[in-house]
Amino acid sequence: MYQLDFLAILIALVLYRFLKRRKQLPLPPGPSGYPIIGNLFDMPLRFTYLTFTEWAKKYNSEIVHIDVCGTHIIILNSLRLIIELFDKRSTIYSSRPRFTMVNELMGWEFLFSSMPYDEGWRRRRRLFQRIFPSSRASELQPQQRTHVRRLLPRLIDPKQHYAQALRHFTGGIAITLAYGINVKPENDPYINISERAIGILNRESTPGKYFVDAIPWLKYVPEWFPGAKFKRDAKEWKKVTMNFRDAPFQATKRDMEKGVVPSSYTASCLENINANTAQERHELEEEIKDTAATFYGGGTDTMMSVLLTFVLAMLRYPSVQQKAQEELDKVVGPDRLPDFKDSPNLPYLNAILRELIRWRPSAPVAIPHFTTEEDIVDGYLIPKGSIIIPNNWAVLQDAETYPNPTNFSPERFLTSSGAVASDIINPIDVILGYGRRSCPGAHMARSNMFITTACILHTMTLSWPPSAKGHPDDVRFNDALFPSPEPFPCLIEPRSPKAEQLIKDEAFGAY
């Protein structure tokens, strides 16, 4: 009996000392703040990833902390920590924070990529993976081929602007796969809806842009109040958001009611609804609507960012473009377009894609995570309810992993024999997310990047127009959530008369 009492006291003492030690642990290093507001005015409003990277250097720490009005924000600047927390400790690092401006006021809370780690998110993730599992990647390839073949003649058409052609392509393939809608060649209403909605989201959702995210009670300020322009803007933007979510979904439902069943994610889901009541059916349709819109939006601006960056890189580094074309000529030949099966035999092109994402990542800051429990990392206390921001930029610009990181060098991903190096971290893996919140459509993103860039390089030459002012090196990147180059001129021409005829022949069969 006394032994049990002694054991209970001993356990209590050990637990007390452990809890006391946790309370005494320091937070990760970071800029010192002010009472109450903390680091509110230290939070960068533009190019956040650059400031985060500078903080990592200043405090000589892979992990940095700031306090914004009582909210703990932890920035992770190394892949080691990102993998440790999001992969190995995923049970407490897989949720998402709620951003008042974007999620609540602008209406984007339906994106399951930004939902908390709960049953609602799990249902949507399972639904998406049931229709689009990685094992079905080859089934989507015919539609990807078709859209690329439609893109090519638009790129060499002097009456078409290359950026608009790329936007039509990225929007068109996402809409077709999500809803089965065959977009119009010009001025498609659904692409216009997507461009406006995703453009607003991309521009307005960078971390730290709105004080209402740090001080949520500001959402109750009347719209007419001085300084409440964010409320008036959000009210108008929410209408655009809801139209983006609802319009293509309703179009697919109308087609199905007419007996037209287009092959798409939405149609497959609606055909397999198993509901016992009207309320249950409504809830299931809302989940389908959410996941379709997430796919529709997520596959547009990220791909657009990658393709515009690819075009700029080819202008800046013509020798890289030429070397890739020589590889394509050798493997594919002049009589056909590249296909997915060619990928293993095109190591230099695959190295270009890895270097492209490393050099200018389409998501320099990943979607933030949220801690559901207190934790200790490298001797630092991570409070429950912290916002965790993975700084992809710091990871992909790390000179120890990627020497001379400012240089664009696909060769860094190749062995001495010319094969793709397996021991160097693949930036595409980094950019597609971590742990349980990794991108569920990663297999589609990879194949889309490959087939599009391969077909462009195989059939056409990209160059800076002789009559244009400036130089490719002068082009800067914007500060969007998914950054892309500021508008720049580009001359796109067929590599040869035979390549031009191949483009026309393939396009004819794509309609």
Query: Residues in the chain, how many?
Result: 511
Q: Tokens 């399972």 correspond to what residue?
A: 126
What residues form DSSP beta bridges with 391?
A: 365
Q: Are 212 and 230 in contact (CB under 8 A)?
A: yes
Query: Cα angle vertex 373, ends 367, 376, to 5°?
Result: 90
Contacts of 103-109 with C-beta under 8 Å, sequence gap 24+, read 104/219, 105/212, 105/219, 105/230, 105/231, 105/234, 105/235, 105/238, 106/200, 106/201, 106/204, 106/234, 106/237, 106/238, 106/241, 107/237, 107/238, 107/241, 107/242, 107/245, 108/201, 108/205, 108/241
Q: Are 197 and 244 in contact (CB under 8 A)?
A: yes
What is the Cα–Cα distance from 58 to 64, expressed in whole angstroms? 10
Q: What phi-psi label fits residue 50: left (phi over 0), alpha (psi between -120 and 50 degrees) or beta?
A: alpha
Q: What phi-psi label fits residue 107: left (phi over 0), alpha (psi between -120 and 50 degrees) or beta?
A: left
For the chain, counts of helices (H) and of strands (E): 19, 8
Residues near 100 by beta carbon (within 8 Å), at least 6 away in sequence:
210, 212, 213, 216, 218, 219
Tokens of 210: 């709105």
Q: Which helix (H) or strand (E) holds 269?
A: helix 265-271
What is the Cα–Cα distance from 115 to 96, expressed in whole angstroms? 6
Tokens of 25: 């642990």
Which among 325, 309, 409 is positioned nearest to 360, based on CA atoms?
309
The response to whether 490 counts as a known ligand-binding position is no
Tokens of 255: 């087609």
Burial of 88 (0-12, 13-18, 19+ CB in 10 A): exposed
SS (H, E, C) 278-306: HHHHHHHHHHHHHHHHHHHHHCCHHHHHH
Phi and psi angles of residue 97, each rounded to the nearest 5 degrees, phi first: -75, 160
Question: DSSP 3-state helix, strand, coil percentages of the chain (rounded to 5)?
Answer: 60, 10, 35
| Annotation: binding site for heme | 439
Which positions make up the binding site? 439
